[in-house]
Amino acid sequence: METLDTLRTRKKAATRQSLHEAALRLAMERGLDGVTVEDIADVAGVSRRTFSNYFANKEDAILHADRERTGVLVSLVENRPRGEQPWPALRAACAELYRAQTIPDREWAAQLRLLRRHPSLLARQVSDQFTLERDLAAVLVARGHGLEEELAHLMAATFLTAVRTANVRWLEGPGDQPLPGLVDHLLSRLDPR
C-alpha cells in the first residue's frame, strides 16, 4: 500500500511535470515573450500561487526536464563501478541515460532549439551547464583514481562539449545515425588515456 508521503511526492512530481509541459508547449506555439506565468498555470489547471510553489519563473518551468536529466546523469556517473576509470564511467553513464530516455523527434527538437535561443533561456542554460560541469567534476574526483580537480573539470567540460556537439550534429544532419550512437562515436574520439 502506498504511503501518504509517497502519494504526495508523486502528486507533486505530476504537477511539476504538467507545468513544465504547459510552459514548453505554450512557448513553442507563441514564443517565450508571448507566454505568461498565468497562461501556464491556466493550461495546467492550477493557480498562479501553485505555479510559484514549483518554479520561480517561466524559464525555470521550460528548463525543468533538462535539469532533471542532468541530475540523473550525475547520479549515473556517481553509481558506476568504483574500479571504472573516469572517462569510461562518463561514457557508460551517458549511454545508460540515452537508453533510458526517449529520443525526441527532429521537428520537435528543432522547434525547441529555436526557442532556446531566447536570451533569458540562454542565460539560465549557461548557468546550468556550469553547475553540471562542477557537479560532474566533483563526482569524478570523489570516485578516486588520483584525478586532480583541475583535470576533473577539464574532463567534465570536454565530455559536455562532445555531448552538445553530437546533439547539434544529429539535429542538423541527415539523420542517418541514431543520436545515442553519434554521442558515443564523438566521445570515443576523445578518449583520454
User: How far is CA 128 from each of CA 95, 101, 135, 192, 193, rounded to the nearest angstrom?
Assistant: 21, 20, 10, 25, 28
96 to 54, 76, 111, 148, 189: CA distances (angstroms): 28, 8, 26, 26, 19
Please give the Cα distance from 22 to 123 (Å, whole number). Answer: 21
Going residue by residue through the chain (193 aa), what tens digit of pLDDT does each one get? 667 778 888 899 999 999 999 998 898 888 888 999 999 999 999 999 999 999 999 999 988 888 888 899 999 999 999 999 999 999 999 999 888 666 666 656 665 666 667 888 888 888 889 999 999 999 999 998 888 999 999 999 999 999 888 887 877 777 677 778 888 889 988 876 5
For residue 145, what is the DSSP state? T
- Does the pTM surpass 0.85? The reply is no
Closest by CA position to 17, among listed 48, 54, 42: 54
